Structure 1
Amino acid sequence: MTSGEFKKLRKFLKLSQKEMAEALGLKRRMIQYYEKGERDGEPLDIPKAVELACYALSSGVREFTFVAPKRMSKKGSELAL
């Protein structure tokens, strides 16, 4: 994800930088760095975890709780993970 794509996504979601930071669990300053594509004059890549979180936001996911799926034993009974 490029810095331009990141900013376009935030605007598409109609979120302020502060709201985007809260939704991603980041500081507002990091949102500014990601949108600029640099930090302290050095290029800054957007981490894959942030990209995936952006995808989740764009898909309508605001919170996530993992529930382990059940799997079957060789004998056919369910096992909890």
Structure 2
Amino acid sequence: MDGDAFRHWRKRHKLSQKDAAKALGLKPRIIQYYEKGERDGKTVEIPLSVRLACYAIESGVGDFDGKDSAKLKPRGKKSKD
């Protein structure tokens, strides 16, 4: 996800930069850096954790408390069911 894709995601969800920051647990200035793609002339990459949080919001996940984690299967391992 690059800055343009991030901005598109935010606008698709009708979030201001401030609201996106709150939803993602970030400061509004960080959202600005992500959308611009740089800070002080250096490239800013959007971390995997933020990209996954965007995906979770996109998928309708509001919060995860860990209680349903037993239903998740680790990658690469087959179920013994």
Q: What TM-score, normalized by structure 2, do the two folds share?
A: 0.82
Structure 1 stretches of at least 4 aligned residues deviating more than 2 Å after TM superposition: none
Secondary structure of the corresponding residue to residue 60 of structure 1: coil
Match status 1:17 vs 2:10: no
Q: What TM-score, normalized by structure 1, do the two folds share?
A: 0.82
Aligned length: 70
Aligned to 2:32: 32
Q: Percent identity?
A: 57
Distance across 2 between alignment mates of 1:65 and 1:9: 24
Distance across 2 between alignment mates of 1:24 and 1:36: 17
- Which deviations, in whole Å up to 9, do the C-alpha atoms of 1:28-74 show, x marking residues without a partner? 0000000000011111110011000000011111211111428xxxx
Alignment of 1:2-81 (within 5 A): 2-67=2-67, 68-69=69-70
Gaps of 5+ in 1: 71-81
More strand as a share of residues: 1
Distance across 2 between alignment mates of 1:42 and 1:17: 21
What is the root-mean-square deviation in Å for CA atoms of aligned residues? 1.2
Secondary structure of the corresponding residue to residue 7 of structure 1: helix
Distance across 2 between alignment mates of 1:32 and 1:13: 16
8 Å contact kept, 1:37–1:44: yes
8 Å contact kept, 1:23–1:62: no
